[in-house]
Amino acid sequence: MLKKFLPNQHVQSVFEIKPLDLKNQGIKGIVTDLDNTLVAWDTRDATPEIVEWFKLMKENGIQVTIISNNNEKRVTSFSEPLDIPFIYSARKPLGQAFRKAQHAMGIRKDEMVVIGDQLLTDVLGGNRAGLHTILVVPIVQTDGFLTRINRKIERRLLSWFRRKGMISWEEQQWKK
């Protein structure tokens, strides 16, 4: 059961995820979280670097859909100016939003990756949906109230995975 919380990959940021690497793996679509994955949770608009990352994915034929548990106003105000498809109030880790994004992109499960900063929502949801999961380091160390609770549980899970030899990356980013 705990293996459902284990990501397939770990990176410091989305900028380490390159379109050519994805294409070489047969990936045609990305489902990504918004807050603390693409921008800080309290940042309204996309940074120039994120705009460029989206552009690079699009130029390489990789579709991107934002799936967020946040509300309509937050997700719409970020996504619409970028013309990026999105799903708000996604209820991750439940699978409906992942299936909806897959259907909208018209691709198979093995052609998708899930990118996010939380084990309890993004990784668990992606793994439950049978997708390749990539955990990123949270952009900032502050979080909303519910996410702070999740982070405490995540630290325990990461510690357990480390003790069992299931992960090898540094976990300093989750030590607060």
Q: What is the pLDDT of residue 166?
A: 84
Which ranges of 93-168 would DSSP assign to H, the alpha helix? 96-105, 124-128, 145-163
The residue ranges of every structural domain in the chain are: 2-141
Cα(31)–Cα(113) distance, rounded to whole angstroms? 6
Q: What is the pLDDT of residue 151?
A: 79
Distances (CA, A) of 79 to 16, 38, 39, 86, 116: 21, 11, 12, 7, 16
Chain segment 112-150, per-residue pLDDT in tens: 999 999 999 999 999 999 999 999 999 877 666 677 778
The confidence band for 159, taking pLDDT boundaries of 50, 70 and 90, is confident
Q: Is 34 left (phi over 0), alpha (psi -120 to 50) or beta?
A: alpha
Q: What is the pLDDT of residue 144?
A: 65
Cα(152)–Cα(135) distance, rounded to whole angstroms? 16
Pick the CATH number of 2-141 from 3.40.30.10, 3.40.50.1000, 3.40.190.10, 1.10.645.10: 3.40.50.1000
Chain segment 56-114, per-residue pLDDT in tens: 999 999 999 999 999 999 999 999 999 999 999 999 999 999 999 999 999 999 999 99
**What predicted TM-score, i.e. pTM, was given to this entire model?**
0.88
